[in-house]
Structure 1
Amino acid sequence: MGSPSNTTDNGHRGRVLLTGANGFTGKYVRAELEAAGYSVCGALVGAARGPHETTLDITSLDDCRRVLDKVRPDYLVHLAAISFVAHADADAFYRVNVIGTMNLLQAIGDTGAPVKRVLVASSANVYGNATAGVIAESQPPQPVNHYAASKLAMEHLVRTWSDRLPIVISRPFNYTGVGQQPNFLVPKIVSHFVSRASVIELGNLDVERDFSDVRMVAHAYHGLLENDCAGETVNVCSGRPYSLRSIIDLMQDIAGYEIEVRVNPAFVRQSEVKTLVGSPDKLRAIVSDLNPVPLQETLRWMYQAGVGS
């Protein structure tokens, strides 16, 4: 990874404002950046619990101005979003994912915060049912649900700031790890094996996804802060597809028993993206020391940890 882009008198590489700090990804990004010498201020929806946290409602421009003025970050890592695709409140996707992001960028401009890099997390869901096989960043987006549409709208509006702020947009594909909520697919599967369940109900078993380890994703975000990639949109992915069937097979090897899989039609979404596999070439060109974790190792880590600990 490149040398630190700035070093303050106390030895830190700079102050990072991290939104979504208490979320699944945020906890790993925080640990990654603090281990590298950054000072991280976590922005939370709930009450702050220490000197390195602050309450922030990104749907309020005034609140965004207050926090940017208070923290004066060198870097902004914006992870806060409604990320569960089947979330019931469609309006919330746009209020949080689009308007909330715009509020943060406006607040940087209004307060004159000395930001050297803004990392905004979008999603590979913007590609929709792409038919290009391995998807590069040049693939035209075609979102098929409110979550993906909100992220694509956010991307378009974020780019209107690219002449004023050094922004990089990440498009993470699926990733998982210890601490991910059980309403996501892989933790659901692993938790069934942890509890030695005899049956699991799933949707379409032939859906294929590109799965990464959350620790690799955190390292990739660290690299996108430090390397010269302002103005870029970058896939964060492994480049390898796994079907649900193959994940079940891996877990049966890890847990040492076979589970009965039942397809529940209620779990098959009408707007399901069938295959979503990304090209990591651009990411690897920017972040040269990426170390992808094989999915079997990630699953074993989650199984041994009891999934959500």
Structure 2
Amino acid sequence: MNILLTGADGFTGRHFIQSATQAGHHITSLKVDLTDPAAVAAQVQGTQPDAVVHLAAISFVGNADPAAFYAVNVIGSMNLLAALSALPKAPAKVLLASSANIYGNCDSSPIAEDQPPAPVNHYAASKLAMEHMARTFADRLPMVITRPFNYTGAGQGGQFLIPKLVDHFARRAPYIELGNLHAEREFNDVRMVCQAYLDLLQHGQAGQAYNVCSGQTYTLQDVMDILTCITSHQIEVMVNPAFVRSNEVHRLCGTPAKLTACTGPLPAIELRDTLQWMLEQA
């Protein structure tokens, strides 16, 4: 397939390019400001993709400018979909990366795709708004929405939690400042997520949303215990109240049943293997 990719220079984009090219696909990177509709339209018109993977977004929940979430994640996505819908031939599949953060805090666990969304921050709200906006193009573009739960891997930015932990253990730092040690998250491997995206380009049903998850959660203490075991380094944890979010999502765990029913089993990569890989690349 000829895949048009946004966010090629980002963490997920770089790994997706590697996974896709290894699978024999050709990647065309859309390198343009998504908030500039004329520039997006001009570059898209010069392509004829078989499929599109839209990863470009502001993804750090703690980003200081709330308006930027909506400008990029919603309006930028709208500009892309408008440009794609104007192509002489529509792509066979358009994959839009949303987020499991749209579910917010909910009592049910693991979370299925029919769980009513309840976003608690601007990142999550912008992703949910993007999903609703995208449905206005459903009559023109065959879209699949993915809702990845937390994932990590080598090359993820240091502002994210797992790379921060890995960096401190790699440097054998004496202490680390953290927030809520008891929040539970999935910490899946970016390589699994990229494989799920490739599989959904082939098999995903247009108009459907799919959780990209494993159903396995960990606390920060669990992650630290694994890093301690790998490195034999003990680190002191100092809880910094500034890092404790008032609207923290306490447990975020999904069920992959719908995804695996569509694509079949995904690569099972243990968190220890992911952390070992990240330490080797640190």
TM-score (norm 2): 0.98
> Which residue does 1:40 correspond to in 2?
27
Alignment identity in percent?
Answer: 52
* C-alpha distance in 1 between matches for 2:181 and 2:130: 31
- Aligned pair partner of 2:4 in 14, 17, 36: 17
Secondary structure of the residue aligned to 2:245 is coil
Listed as ranges, the matches of 1:265-284 within 5 Å are 265-284=241-260
| Residue matched to 2:170 | 194
The 5 Å alignment of 1:228-243 reads 228-243=204-219
Whether contact under 8 Å (2:102, 2:127) holds in the other structure is: yes
Provide the C-alpha distance between the structure 2 equivalents of 1:24 and 1:65, rounded to a whole number of angstroms.
Answer: 25
Q: What secondary structure does 2:80 align onto?
A: helix
1:175 CA drift (Å): 0.3
Match of 1:128 in 2: 104
Contact 1:17 1:73 in 2 (8 A): yes
Query: Given the alignment of the two structures, is residue 103 of structure 1 paired with residue 79 of structure 2, yes or no?
Result: yes
- In structure 2, what is the Cα distance between the partners aligned to 1:90 and 1:75? 31
Aligned pairs for 1:195-214 (under 5 A) are 195-214=171-190
Are the aligned partners of 1:212 and 1:292 in contact in 2 as well (CA < 8 Å)? no
> Which of these residues, 105, 108, 113, is aligned with residue 137 of structure 1?
113
Between 119-128 and 158-167, the greater mean CA deviation after superposition: 158-167
Shift of 1:113: 4.1
Which amino acid is 1:27 matched to? R
Conservation of the 8 A alpha-carbon contact between 1:20 and 1:79: yes
In the aligned structure 2, how far is the partner of 1:113 from the partner of 1:61?
20
2:203 aligns with one of 206, 227, 231: 227
Q: What amino acid maps onto 1:171 in structure 2? A: R
One-letter amino acid matched to 2:34: I
Q: Partner amino acid for 2:281?
A: A
Moved more, 199-208 or 228-237: 228-237
SS where residue 4 of structure 2 aligns?
strand
Taking structure 1 as the reference length, the TM-score comes to 0.89
Give the SS at the match of 1:88: coil
Secondary structure in structure 1 of the residue aligned to 2:86 = helix
For structure 1, list consecutive stretches of 5 or more residues without a partner in the other structure. Answer: 1-13, 45-55
In the TM superposition, residue 216 of structure 1 has moved relative to its aligned partner by: 0.5
Mapped to 2, the partners of 1:275 and 1:40 lie a distance apart of: 36
Query: Once superposed, what is the RMSD of the aligned Cα atoms?
Result: 1.0
Q: What does 1:68-217 align with in structure 2 at a 5 Å threshold?
A: 68-217=44-193
- 3-state secondary structure, aligned to 2:30: strand
Amino acid at match of 2:19: E
1:66 pairs with 39, 42, 58, which one? 42
Q: How many residues align?
A: 282
- What is the identity, as a one-letter code, of the residue corresponding to 1:37? G
**Which residue of 2 is the match for residue 301 of structure 1?**
277
Secondary structure at 1:21's aligned position in 2? coil
1:228 is displaced (CA, Å) by: 4.1
> Can you list the C-alpha shifts for 1:154-212, whole angstroms capped at 9, x where unaligned?
00111222222110000001000000001000000010000001101100000000111
Structure 1 distance, partners of 2:64, 2:81, is 27
CA contact (8 A) 1:137 1:233 kept: yes
Runs of 4+ in 1 over 3 A off after TM superposition: none
- CA distance in structure 2 between the aligned counterparts of 1:236 and 1:213, rounded to whole angstroms: 11
The Cα shift of 1:17 comes to 0.7
Aligned to 1:4: none
Question: Structure 1 residue 42: deviation in Å?
Answer: 1.3
Task: Give, as a single letter, the amino acid of the residue that structure 1 aligns with 2:103.
Answer: Y
Q: Is the 8 A contact 1:213 1:295 kept in 2?
A: yes
Show CA shifts across 1:241-299 (max 9, x none). Answer: 10001101111001112111111101001111110001111111112141121111101
Seen in structure 2, the aligned counterparts of structure 1 residues 120 and 228 have a Cα distance that, compared at 3 Å, is closer
Counterpart secondary structure, 1:114: coil
Q: 1:257 aligns with which of 215, 229, 233?
A: 233
2:251 counterpart letter in structure 1:
T
